[in-house]
Amino acid sequence: MNLFDFGTLVSSLRLELGWTQSELSEQTDLPLAVISNVERGERRGLLKDNILIKLARGLQLTTLERREFILAASGLGENNNEEPEDNPKISNMEIEALVNDLAERVGYLAMPCIVTDAYCDLIMINNSAQLYYHPTQSMLKVDPGQVGAYNQMRYVFHADSPFRELQGPDWEKASIATLRFFRRRTMRVRATRYFSDLMAHFRNEEEYPYFNRFYKRMLFDLQDDYFHEIQIPRDEKQFLYTDLSTLLASTPAGELYLHYQAPLNKHTADVFADLYRQAGVGVVRYSQFPDPRKN
């Protein structure tokens, strides 16, 4: 990330809170000139560690969001706009071959798994997850070229999504947790046009009646997310799992992440095993990767 993009990141986080630069200056105890220079991407030597920490705290980032924020700033230096000479050149054909190889491997995982990019766009989903989430036909009948056509937020918040029914009484809690994850995951791509278009799409209240409302609740939720909560099963017959994610691949076209549901008791493991037997080996491919719109 270069200095201009980092400034855009800081500006977008500030605007989400509804603050002026002066208000962010007060919250961070940093001079207004510093805030202004950071957001304009000026003065390369300005981003010292203490300034980054003050910005992260003032912007009310959670512990895990701060990690992404610091990582976003980690490449800022005197030559941060120059590509390293030893950066490997990989063609789109080679990236597509990598994705095909990952698809074959993910298809064998015996639990619901999905693969997304840094925007939370769904790249592929294994057959077990496709059977478990059972997206409706109206959700699937979408122009693949539409921004956010297969985004995780579309599945969670679209008016036709089965997510609310699937989650039951835990729907609101699960929705806000998913939004927190979305905000953290997209932290380093906020300066792109694609991200701006994605957010504009989700703020259409006719198609996404709860996105804006829950996003605002998430922003001012004081609960930190410094660890991933794993429930302790109290009943062996309870259907209980935890959602986990990990970096799957890092390519010149962006990162890919594996999300999977780990069972927390034998009953849930048996349910997933049954899903695997019914669905079989394989994946369903959704969003394009690499996608030239995300460069």
Neighbours of 187 (CB within 10 A): 23
Other beta carbons within 10 Å of 74: 12
Say how far apart CA 132 and CA 95 lie, in whole Å. 29
Give the CATH number of domain 3-73.
1.10.260.40
CA–CA distance from 145 to each of 42, 120, 142, 148, 291 (Å)? 36, 15, 9, 9, 10
Give the pLDDT score at 57: 94
Task: Report the pLDDT averaged over residues 24-45.
Answer: 89
Q: For the chain, what percent of residues have pLDDT higher than 90?
A: 69
pLDDT at 91: 84
Query: What's the confidence (pLDDT) of residue 44?
Result: 58
- Identify the pLDDT of residue 2: 86
Q: When comparing pLDDT for 119 and 242, which is higher?
A: 119
Classify the phi-psi angles of 257: left when phi > 0, otherwise alpha if psi is within -120 to 50, otherwise beta. beta
Q: 45-49, 141-145, 197-201, 264-268 — which is least confidently predicted?
A: 45-49
Q: Which of 68-72, 141-145, 223-227 has the lowest mean pLDDT?
A: 223-227
The predicted pLDDT at position 92 comes to 83
Classified by CATH at the fold level, domain 92-294 comes out as Beta-Lactamase (3.30.450)
pLDDT, tens only, 199-209: 999 999 999 99
Give 3-64 as a DSSP string: HHHHHHHHHHHHHHTT--HHHHHHHHT--HHHHHHHHHT--GGG--HHHHHHHHHHTT--HH
Angle, alpha carbons 132-111-282 (nearest 5°)? 80
d(CA 224, CA 226): 6
| Domain locations in the chain as residue ranges | 3-73, 92-294
pLDDT value of residue 144: 86
What is the pLDDT of the chain when averaged over all its residues?
89
pLDDT of residue 80: 47
pLDDT tens digit sequence for 85-143: 455 567 888 999 999 999 999 999 999 999 999 999 999 999 999 999 888 877 788 88
The pLDDT value recorded for residue 142 is 87
pLDDT for the residue 180: 92
With contact defined as beta carbons under 8 Å apart, do 34 and 46 qualify?
yes
- Contact, 195 vs 189, CB < 8 A? yes
User: Which single residue is written with the structure tokens 């560690």?
Assistant: 49
Angle at 185 between CA 247 and CA 228, to 5 degrees: 75
Instruction: Copy the structure tokens of residue 195.
Output: 């991200």
| pLDDT (average), residues 151-169 | 91
Mean pLDDT calculated for residue range 172-176 = 91
Gap between the Cα atoms of 119 and 117, Å rounded: 5
> What is the structure's pLDDT at 43?
66
Split at pLDDT 50, 70, 90, the class of 222 is low
Do the beta carbons of residue 113 and residue 105 sit within 8 Å?
no
Residue 31 CB contacts under 8 Å (≥ 6 apart), including other chains: 25
Q: Read off the pLDDT band of 82 (50, 70, 90).
A: very low
Phi, psi of 34 (to 5 degrees): -65, -45
